[in-house]
Amino acid sequence: MIAGREAEEATRREAREESLSSVALHPGIASSRLAHTFVALALAVATAGLYLAQARLIAGELGYPLDDAWIHQTYARNLAHLGEWSFVPGTPSAGSTSPLWTLLLAIPHWFPGDLRLWTYAFGLLSLLGTAWATTRLTRALFDDARLAPWVGLAVLVEWHLTWAAVSGMEILLYTFLATLLLALALAPHLALRPLLWGVLGGLLTLTRPEGLWLVALIWLVLVLRSRQGHLDRSARHTGAYVAGWLILVAPYLLVNWHLTGRPFPNTFYAKQAEYHLLIDTIPLWQRLLTQAWLPWIGGQVLFLLGLGWVAVRLAWGRRRGVGGQWATSNERGTTGNQPQKTANRIRLLVPAVWALGLITIYALRLPVTYQHGRYLMPIIPVALVYGLWAFRALVTATPRILSRSLVISAGVVFLLFWIRGSLAYAEDTAVITCEMVGTARWVATTTKPTDLIAAHDIGALGYFADRPLLDLAGLVSPETIPLLRDESGLLHLMQARGVTHVIFFPDWYPVMAHAPALRLVSQRDCPVTRAAGHQSLAVYETAWSSLVTVQPKMQSAPGRIWPTYSRFSPPERIFRRSGSRLFPLLETKLQYHKHRLK
C-alpha cells in the first residue's frame, strides 16, 4: 500500500514537471493563455456594461431585476453593521436562501464605494469563473483543447448568464461552484481530492440548498473512482468528503434549526407552499417539458440540431462519424480495457444526470418559469458543453456550404439574444425600481417608524423603508406560510398583529384588494407594468373595524399566476407562440385558475 502511494506521488510530480517544462519550452502557450484571459475579461466587462447601460437608460438608475436581491442586501447590511443575522433589525430570522452570497455582500459595507458596483463586480467574477470552469469541464469530458475555448466564449455571451451576473443574486456563484466541482471530480488525470471536493460541496450548499443533489452525485463518483483501489481507501475518501462538507454546512443547519426548528431557511418551504397549486393542477410530464425547455431559450437552441443528429446516429448504430470521435476523445489509450471504457462513458453522463435531476426536482417541487427560469440557469453551462460538442460533430459531417451556414446562424442567433437579453434585463430592472423601490421610498417618507407593514415583496422595503414588517410570502415571517393560500386567513392574521399598511399587487390578491378593511392610499403608475397589461403595486391603509369574514370561491394560491409564465420576459416572447402550441393545456389551465381566483 505504501509503495502504491509513493508511485502515485511520483506520477503526480512527473506530470507537474512535464506541464511546467512544456510551458517553459513553449512560451507561446503562456502568452496564448494570457491573451485568452484578456479577451474573456474584456468581453465580460463589455457585456455587463451593455446590460447596465440599457437598465440605466430605461429604469433611470442602476438597480436589480429582482426584489430578492434587496433581501440579500438587507441581510448583508445588518450583518455588517449590527453583527446579527436578521432582515428586520433586532429580530433574527432564517430568510436568506444563500448565506454564502450574503456573507460575500457584507464585505463591501466595510469599504467605500457604491454597493451596487461591488455586487456587479462579484457577479462579473462569477461569470468569468463559470467560463473558466466550463472549459475545464469540456476538457475533462472530451479531452478537446480546441473545443474548450469556444464553450467558454459561449458562456460569456449567453444572455441568461449575463442577466444573472448583474442581477445581484447568487445564481452565478452557484453555477461557478457547481461547474468547478464537476470539472474537478470528472477530470480523469487529476488525483482524488475528497476533502477539497467536500469543501466545495459545502460552499455549494451554502449558496443554494439544492446543491445537495450535486453533493450526493459527486459522492457516488468518488465511491466509483475509489473502488479501483482498496475498500479502506474508499471509506477514507468518503469520510474526508463528508467531513469537508459538514465543516461548512453544520453551523448553517444548526442556526436554521435554532431559529425556525427546521434545517433549511424559510424560503425553502415558503416557495413550495406558494406554488403548490401548479403541482396539483399541471401534469408532471408537462412540468418536466416546460422546465427542460428553459435552458435552451437562446442561441444554444440551434445546438439541439446537433444533439438530435448525434442521438439518431447513435440509435442507428452508425458510429463511424460520431462514435469515432467519441472513442478518440474519451477512450484514448483504453484499447482492450473494458472497465476503463465503461468508467469513461459513465463519466460523460454525470453532468447530464445532474442537469436532468435538477430539472426533475423543480418539476416536482417548484415548477415555476418566471424571471427567465433563473432556478435552472446553473445547468446552462452543461447544456453548452454537450450542445456545442454535438453541434460541431454535425457541422463537420455536413457539406461545406451547409456547415458554414449553420455556424453563421448560430453566431447570429447568439448575438440577437445577447442584445435582446439586455432589453429584458433593463425592463426587469425598471419594474423592480419603479414598483418595489419606488413604493419603499414612499413608505419611508410617508408612514411612521412604528407602523407595521405587511407586504408580499419585502426586499426593497427592508432595505429602504426600515419599518417593522409582516412578510405575506413567509420568507421572514414563517407564521404566514400555512396561510399563503388563504386570503381571508391573512386578513385576520394582519388584524391580530395590528398591521397598519398592506402592500401587494391587486391582481395577485383579488380578495384582499376588495376587502372593506383595506383602503387604497397609493398606487404606482409604472409604464413597464402598464405595457404588460397588469396593475401596479398598491398601498392600502387598514381599518380593521370594517373587517368581515370573507369566503373566496376557492381557498387557493393568491392570484400570482401570471408572473409564473410571463413576467416581462422579452426573449421568451420570441418563443411565445411556439410555446403555446407545445403546451396548450398548460396555458389553458393557468388562465382558467387565474379567472377562478378573481
Report the pLDDT value the prediction gives residue 273, as an integer from 0 to 100: 67
The answer to whether the CB of 444 falls within 8 A of the CB of 466 is yes
Res. 592 pLDDT band, cuts 50 70 90: very low
Spatial separation of the C-alpha atoms in residues 32 and 28, rounded to whole Å: 6
pLDDT digit string (tens) for 254-277? 988 888 788 887 777 766 666 777
The neighbour count for residue 153, using CB atoms within 10 Å, is 20
Chain centroid to CA 183: 19
For residues 22 and 499, which has the higher predicted lDDT (pLDDT)?
Answer: 499
Report the pLDDT value the prediction gives residue 32, as an integer from 0 to 100: 67
Report the pLDDT value the prediction gives residue 112, as an integer from 0 to 100: 87
Instruction: Give the range among 58-72, 127-141, 483-497, 539-553 with minimum mean pLDDT.
Output: 539-553
Report the pLDDT value the prediction gives residue 524, as an integer from 0 to 100: 93
Instruction: Give the range among 275-284, 434-443, 474-483, 555-564 with minimum mean pLDDT.
Output: 555-564
Instruction: Give the range among 285-294, 429-438, 474-483, 490-499 with minimum mean pLDDT.
Output: 474-483
Assigned C-alpha cell, 435: 414598483
Report the pLDDT value the prediction gives residue 3, as an integer from 0 to 100: 45
Type of residue numbered 50 = L
Q: Does residue 573 register a pLDDT over 50?
A: no
DSSP per-residue letters across 369-422: -HHHHGGGGGGHHHHHHHHHHHHHHHHHHS-HHHHHHHHHHHHHHHHHHHHHHH
The answer to whether the CB of 375 falls within 8 A of the CB of 362 is yes
Which of 138-148 are b and which e, b meaning 16 or more Cβ less than 10 Å from the residue's Cβ?
bbbbbbbeebb
Percent of the chain with pLDDT over 70: 80
Beta bridge partners of 469: 453
Q: Compute the average pLDDT of residues 510-528.
A: 92
Strands 86-88 and 91-92: antiparallel
Q: Does residue 14 register a pLDDT over 50?
A: no
Highest mean pLDDT among 108-112, 323-327, 481-485: 108-112
Res. 586 pLDDT band, cuts 50 70 90: very low
Assigned C-alpha cell, 511: 380578495
3-state secondary structure of 520: strand
Spatial separation of the C-alpha atoms in residues 369 and 366, rounded to whole Å: 9
pLDDT digit string (tens) for 385-407? 999 999 999 999 889 899 899 99
The answer to whether the CB of 378 falls within 8 A of the CB of 178 is yes
Report the pLDDT value the prediction gives residue 228, as an integer from 0 to 100: 61
Nearest to residue 175, comparing CAs of 193, 189, 163?
163
Assigned C-alpha cell, 33: 493563455
Res. 327 pLDDT band, cuts 50 70 90: very low
Res. 334 pLDDT band, cuts 50 70 90: low
The answer to whether the CB of 439 falls within 8 A of the CB of 457 is no
Residues 6+ apart with CB under 8 A from 550: 487, 488, 491, 511, 515
Percent of the chain with pLDDT over 90: 57
Q: Does residue 15 register a pLDDT over 50?
A: no
For residues 80 and 588, which has the higher predicted lDDT (pLDDT)?
Answer: 80
N-term to C-term CA, the chain: 72
Spatial separation of the C-alpha atoms in residues 304 and 292, rounded to whole Å: 12
Residue 157 Cα distances to 129, 150, 186, 314, 392, angstroms: 14, 11, 25, 30, 18
Q: Compute the average pLDDT of residues 425-446.
A: 95
Report the pLDDT value the prediction gives residue 160, as an integer from 0 to 100: 97
The answer to whether the CB of 211 falls within 8 A of the CB of 179 is no
Spatial separation of the C-alpha atoms in residues 116 and 105, rounded to whole Å: 10
Report the pLDDT value the prediction gives residue 274, as an integer from 0 to 100: 67
Assigned C-alpha cell, 199: 469543501
List of E strands, 419-574: 453-455, 469-471, 501-504, 518-523, 538-542
Instruction: Give the range among 87-101, 435-449, 469-483, 575-589 with minimum mean pLDDT.
Output: 575-589
Which of 207-237 are b and which e, b meaning 16 or more Cβ less than 10 Å from the residue's Cβ?
bbbbbbbbbebbbebbeebbeeeeeebbeeb
Cα three-residue angle 414-420-422, rounded to 5 degrees: 105
- Options 3.30.70, 1.10.3470, 3.40.50, 3.90.550; CATH for 426-597 is 3.40.50
Domain residue ranges of the chain, discontinuous segments joined by +: 2-425, 426-597
Residue 482 Cα distances to 363, 485, 563, angstroms: 22, 8, 22
Q: Does residue 443 register a pLDDT over 90?
A: yes
Long-range own/partner contacts, residues 471-476 (CB < 8 A, 24 or more apart): 471/95, 472/504, 473/270, 473/274, 474/266, 474/269, 474/270, 474/273, 474/274, 475/71, 475/87, 475/95, 475/266, 475/267, 475/270, 476/87, 476/88, 476/93, 476/95, 476/266
Q: What torsion, rounded to 10 degrees, do the Cα atoms 53, 54, 56, 60 define?
A: 160
DSSP per-residue letters across 278-302: HHHHS-HHHHHHHHHHGGGSSGGGG
Q: Compute the average pLDDT of residues 101-113.
A: 94
The neighbour count for residue 344, using CB atoms within 10 Å, is 20
pLDDT digit string (tens) for 534-543? 889 999 999 9
Q: Compute the average pLDDT of residues 459-482.
A: 90
Res. 31 pLDDT band, cuts 50 70 90: low
Report the pLDDT value the prediction gives residue 522, as an integer from 0 to 100: 94
3-state secondary structure of 256: helix
Assigned C-alpha cell, 247: 465543516
Q: Does residue 323 register a pLDDT over 50?
A: no
Q: Does residue 96 register a pLDDT over 90?
A: no
pLDDT digit string (tens) for 376-389? 999 999 999 999 99
